């Protein structure tokens, strides 16, 4: 009886090991990108919520340490690395906060959102209607890491549009 129990336990452990390896393996070519895309959309929503609320601690952790940023209003040149982009975004946060103390400070609503997952990287593009007379465009390059999806590059630009 003990021998039979050991064989059953051994078979169960073997099955668990096979399942664990299968779950830990990277996706094979052609496998669905639904899970990575849904995880990326959660990360994007967290970024937007942190920016809306000017939640510095959560906002800053959405970026990789060596991320690059183009942000036209406060950073006329490319910000490279955490020290540079955090300096710029701290000024942006203070301008947006404008002495108010209760979030949310903004209501970011991406329009024409496009998500392109390319393995462990993804491109996210969208438009914003946050400044009259301009179309604001955003392009973000995300990288999947052990800590989840993180921003490797953010490019913000705006284009003047003719008013009717």
Give the count of alpha carbons within 13 A of 122, CB side only. 27
- Domains along the sequence of the chain with CATH: 34-160 (3.10.450.50)
Average pLDDT, the chain: 84
For position 24, what pLDDT does the model report?
39
For position 9, what pLDDT does the model report?
47
For position 15, what pLDDT does the model report?
36
Averaged over 29-34, what is the pLDDT?
A: 56
Give the start-end residues of each E strand in the chain: 63-71, 75-80, 111-118, 121-128, 134-145, 148-160
What is this structure's pTM? 0.77
Q: What is the pLDDT of residues 73-122, one digit of tens each?
A: 777 899 999 999 999 999 999 999 999 999 999 999 999 999 999 999 99
Of 29 and 33, the structure prediction assigns the larger pLDDT to 33
């Amino acid at each position: 009886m003990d021998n039979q129990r050991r064989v059953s336990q051994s078979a169960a452990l073997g099955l668990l090991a096979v399942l664990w390896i299968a779950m830990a393996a990277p996706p094979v070519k052609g496998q669905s990108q639904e899970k990575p895309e849904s995880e990326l959309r959660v990360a994007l929503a967290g970024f937007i919520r942190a920016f809306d609320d000017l939640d510095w601690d959560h906002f800053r952790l959405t970026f990789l340490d060596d991320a690059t940023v183009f942000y036209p209003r406060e950073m006329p040149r490319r910000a490279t690395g955490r020290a540079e982009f955090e300096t710029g975004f701290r000024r942006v946060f203070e301008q947006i906060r404008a002495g108010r103390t209760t979030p949310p400070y903004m209501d970011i609503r991406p329009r024409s959102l496009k998500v392109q997952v390319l393995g462990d990287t993804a491109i996210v593009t969208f438009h914003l209607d946050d400044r009259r007379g301009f179309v604001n465009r955003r392009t973000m390059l995300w990288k999947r890491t052990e800590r989840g999806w993180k921003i490797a590059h953010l490019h913000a630009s705006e284009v003047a549009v003719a008013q009717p």
